[in-house]
Amino acid sequence: MRVVVTGAKGQLGHDLVPACRRLGEVVGLDLPEWDLTRPEGADRLAALRPDWVIHAAAATDVDRCEREPAWAMAINAEGTSRVAGVCRRTGAGLLYISTDYVFDGTRGTPYLEDDSPSARSAYGRSKLEGERFVQGTAPRWAIARSAWLYGTHGKNFVKTILHKARGGERLRVVDDQVGSPTYAADLAGALVRLLERRLTGVFHLTNSGACSWFEFTREILRQGGMAGVSLEPITSGQLNRPAPRPAYSVLANRAWQAAGESPLRFWTEALGDMLRSLEAAA
Ligand SMILES: NC(=O)c1ccc[n+]([C@@H]2O[C@H](COP(=O)([O-])OP(=O)(O)OC[C@H]3O[C@@H](n4cnc5c(N)ncnc54)[C@H](OP(=O)(O)O)[C@@H]3O)[C@@H](O)[C@H]2O)c1
């Protein structure tokens, strides 16, 4: 199988490209050499004649998306439409990486794959538009919604907390948003498994369990041997970020388990692995 991974240099892409080697040949595409908003980008993708495209490239700065919604739409919606158009022309399957932010987070119980999405932020709306293009255009498709991603590569919440804690900063973290932190390496493994089994449809894929950002921070500090660092819970209102975030965006991984797959491991265990990998790389 020939697999093309878009967003290959991103946090997920970094783990996904090597994980895909198990499937056969893999080609990674990303900025600056490959821009999915440009027609040449589509031509280059088509020329690779992929069997499957894993489309992980996206505008992921949620607050910038809120300030520049046209930018978010151009990349996450129209860009995805271009990728889906290539899949239609070439007959390739399309696995699109989506997000818990397609839900408004008001329900208070885990979201199922067939629950109606209703995004609150420009980022969530642009990713949801992307999902609709995938479903309406690609001949064979799967959508994997994940959440609260962190990995050993790139900027993410875990690394930011470690950096601030080591710098002696007093930490103030929101305690009124609940989700499932998900290790990029675990998600990459599950995505490869989806393709191996040629599974199609919508899948929620996150590590098991849930916590608030505050609880996540407390666990990062505990496992990082910095439990003594000053940490204060605050509300989203106090943080006052441009983009609204869902208050509760836990995703029930029901379709994955209905397909006979085991739940991804508990988030605290995955976090431990990530911290050990960071330490080993240092
Ligand atoms: N991060 C999360 O918490 C999270 C949660 C749920 C779902 N997701 C989804 O998971 C996927 C991977 O996320 P991630 O955390 O790995 O994001 P990431 O680190 O920001 O990676 C995305 C990659 O896409 C590239 N990209 C942006 N615009 C592009 C364009 N016009 N043409 C080609 N490439 C472009 C980025 O390049 P630059 O860095 O140069 O812009 C980056 O390398 C995304 O689809 C995201 O929506 C993320």
Q: Which of 15, 30, 129 to mutate to test the pocket of ligand 1 (most atoms within 8 A of CB)?
A: 30
**What CATH number does residue 92 fall under?**
3.40.50.720
Instruction: Name the residue range of residue 150's domain.
Output: 2-155+182-208+250-265
This prediction has a pTM of 0.98
pLDDT digits (tens, 9 = 90+) for 234-246: 999 999 999 999 9
Cα separation, 249 vs 147, whole angstroms: 8
Between the CA of 38 and the centroid of ligand 1 the distance, in Å, is 17
Residue 222 in domain? no
Between the CA of 10 and the centroid of ligand 1 the distance, in Å, is 6
Residue 245 in domain? no
Cα separation, 254 vs 37, whole angstroms: 33
Which listed residue (96, 101, 111, 123) is catalytic? 123
Residue 242 in domain? no
Residue 103 in domain? yes
Residue 170 in domain? no
Number of domains in the chain: 1
pLDDT (tens place) for every residue of the chain, 282 residues total: 999 999 999 999 999 999 999 999 999 999 999 999 999 999 999 999 999 999 999 999 999 999 999 999 999 999 999 999 999 999 999 999 999 999 999 999 999 999 999 999 999 999 999 999 999 999 999 999 999 999 999 999 999 999 999 999 999 999 999 999 999 999 999 999 999 999 999 999 999 999 999 999 999 999 999 999 999 999 999 999 999 999 999 999 999 999 999 999 999 999 999 999 999 998
What is the number of the ligand 1 atom nearest to the C-alpha of 97? 45
**Residues forming beta bridges with residue 144, ordered by sequence position:** 97, 203
Residue 166 in domain? no
Between the CA of 170 and the centroid of ligand 1 the distance, in Å, is 29
Residue 108 in domain? yes
Catalytic residue check, 123: yes
Residue 82 in domain? yes
